[in-house]
């Protein structure tokens, strides 16, 4: 069993450290308005930025992830691109030639963006007129709070800021909101091509999803890229649209993200209840969907020893519930490889030499 212990324990215990290559604002920043819808092209594809690490275009973990996520992003074969509904009309400003953009359920968080004046009790059109007439006013929210010109750029707009989406934000822009478009793909830039997955692996990323054209994903490592690919897939709006549609509402969208906790895991126990390999792989899929990165596998205990070994075959032969309830060495390698390809490391736990009630017949 030494080779099993060595392979899995090395994967579980090695630490690697990377520094985050960019400042990370709070998770989600919405850059567009309510009428900006990006419909996903049937030929949507990921590509690698040639100016970044070459591992992007050659490593099987990255290329395998591209195939999986392209399948999730693309509409079914033969589906026609849906025609987005026309944007709702925005009341024109009464005193300026600008354009009002609406951000549903969002606000510029923090009093540093408040102008110090309000249009309390007024409707949207009246607030627009009040803002247009007020020096330094760049917008307002539907609670009647006027906003200064610092509201809007960068990470100042946050969905649900302050009241979980109870207000809408209106900002005065010099150009109309971008029309709906088609998202044709995403270009991926890896800052490091290392495939070492351990406690110190940097999983940060920055994802840009425009309302038209190609997006970009910049990640510290390929495992950060996996988190960004999952975020992109979860941005898809699949409710209230035709079953064949794939679209992202509120585009363009920028997500800059990094995990708060280094260890984010799930414990499974195959000693007390044998789990088929396919079931464990489904658990790994669920971990990757949730951006969790550790599968704590409690493999053996006093109840059973389901772990096969070419060196000590009697352990499983006499310790497992049944001859069919045993993980072969190939099964263990399969789970580890499957998990790593999805950004999950396997943390094995063997309770030996204690917890070995099955060991009475093993020499």
pLDDT tens digits, 181-191: 889 999 999 99
Q: Is the peptide bond before 55 cis (omega within 30 degrees of 0)?
A: no
Over range 276-296, report the average pLDDT.
97
The pLDDT score that the predictor gives to residue 244 is 62
Spell out the residues 6+ positions from residue 229 whose beta carbon is closer than 8 angstroms to its own.
Answer: 46, 65, 69, 217
What is the pTM for the complete model shown? 0.69
Helix (H) or strand (E) run with residue 6 in it: helix 2-13
pLDDT confidence bin for 26, thresholds 50/70/90: very low
pLDDT confidence bin for 279, thresholds 50/70/90: very high
CA distance 233 to 213: 17
For residue 118, give the 3-state DSSP assignment. strand
The pLDDT score that the predictor gives to residue 4 is 37
Q: Rounded mean pLDDT of the chain? A: 80
pLDDT at residue 15 greater than cutoff 50: no
The pLDDT score that the predictor gives to residue 54 is 94
The pair phi, psi for residue 296, each rounded to 5°, is -85, 105
The pLDDT score that the predictor gives to residue 154 is 56
pLDDT at residue 334 greater than cutoff 90: yes
In order of 132, 138, 265, 342, the CA distances from 99 in angstroms are 11, 11, 47, 44
Taking the CB of residue 121, how many other CB atoms lie within 10 A of it? 8
pLDDT tens digits, 211-228: 889 999 999 999 999 999
Helix (H) or strand (E) run with residue 101 in it: strand 99-103
The pLDDT score that the predictor gives to residue 80 is 62
Alpha-helix runs per DSSP H in 120-276: 124-133, 222-234
Higher pLDDT, 244 or 45: 45
pLDDT at residue 22 greater than cutoff 70: no
pLDDT at residue 201 greater than cutoff 50: yes
CA distance 225 to 203: 7
Do 172 and 165 contact (CB within 8 A), yes or no? no
**Closest CA relative to residue 205, chosen from 233, 175, 230, 240:** 230
Taking the CB of residue 330, how many other CB atoms lie within 10 A of it? 10
Residue ranges and CATH numbers for the domains of the chain are 2-15+261-354 (3.30.750), 28-84+178-257 (3.30.379.10), 99-173 (3.50.4)
CA distance 2 to 30: 52
β partners of residue 187: 47, 216
pLDDT at residue 285 greater than cutoff 80: yes
CA atoms within 13 A on the CB side of 136: 10
Highest mean pLDDT among 40-44, 65-69, 110-114, 177-181: 65-69
pLDDT at residue 24 greater than cutoff 50: no
CA distance 180 to 241: 15
Do 177 and 87 contact (CB within 8 A), yes or no? yes
Higher pLDDT, 218 or 19: 218
Burial of 99 (0-12, 13-18, 19+ CB in 10 A): middle
Q: Is the peptide bond before 271 cis (omega within 30 degrees of 0)?
A: no
Taking the CA atoms of 76, 77, 79 and 80 in sequence, report the sign of the dihedral they define.
positive
DSSP letter, residue 230 = H
pLDDT confidence bin for 117, thresholds 50/70/90: confident
Q: Report the b/e string of 207-218 with b at 16+ CB within 10 A.
A: bbbbbbebbbbb
DSSP-assigned letters across all residues of 260-299: S-S--EEEEETTTS---HHHHHHHHHHHHHTT--EEEEEE
Highest mean pLDDT among 119-123, 241-245, 258-262: 258-262
**Closest CA relative to residue 281, chosen from 332, 321, 351:** 332
């Amino acid at each position: 069993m030494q080779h099993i212990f060595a392979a899995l324990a090395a994967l579980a215990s090695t630490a690697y450290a990377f520094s985050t290559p960019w400042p990370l604002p709070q998770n989600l920043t919405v850059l567009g308005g309510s009428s900006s819808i990006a419909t996903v092209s049937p030929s949507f594809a990921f590509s690698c930025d040639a100016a970044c690490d070459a591992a992007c275009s050659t490593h099987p973990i990255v290329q395998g992830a591209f195939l999986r996520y392209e399948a999730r992003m693309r509409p079914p074969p033969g589906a026609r691109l849906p025609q987005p509904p026309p944007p709702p009309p925005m009341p024109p400003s009464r005193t300026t030639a600008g354009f009002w953009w609406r951000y549903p359920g969002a606000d510029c968080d923090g009093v540093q963006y408040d102008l110090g004046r309000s249009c309390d009790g007024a409707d949207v059109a009246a607030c627009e007129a009040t803002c247009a007439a007020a020096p330094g006013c760049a917008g307002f929210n539907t609670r009647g709070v006027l906003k200064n010109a610092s509201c809007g750029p960068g990470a100042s707009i946050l969905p649900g800021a302050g009241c979980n989406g109870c207000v809408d934000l209106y900002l005065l822009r010099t150009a109309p909101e971008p029309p709906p478009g088609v998202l044709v793909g995403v270009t991926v830039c890896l800052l490091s091509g290392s495939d070492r997955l351990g406690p110190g692996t940097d999983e940060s990323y920055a994802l840009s999803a425009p309302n038209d054209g190609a997006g970009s994903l910049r990640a510290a490592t390929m495992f950060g890229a996996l988190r960004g690919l999952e975020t992109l897939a979860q941005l898809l709006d699949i409710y209230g649209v035709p079953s064949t549609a794939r679209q992202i509402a509120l585009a363009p969208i920028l997500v800059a993200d990094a995990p708060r906790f280094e260890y984010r895991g799930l414990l499974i126990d195959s000693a007390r209840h044998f789990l088929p390999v396919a079931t464990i792989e489904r658990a790994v899929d669920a971990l990757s969907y949730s951006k969790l990165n550790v599968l704590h596998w409690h493999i053996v205990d006093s109840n059973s020893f389901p772990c096969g070994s070419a060196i000590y075959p009697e352990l499983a032969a006499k310790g497992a519930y049944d001859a069919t309830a045993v993980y072969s060495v190939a099964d263990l390698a399969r789970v580890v490889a499957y998990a790593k390809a999805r950004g999950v490391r396997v943390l094995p736990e063997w309770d030996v030499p204690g917890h070995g009630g099955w060991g009475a017949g093993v020499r």
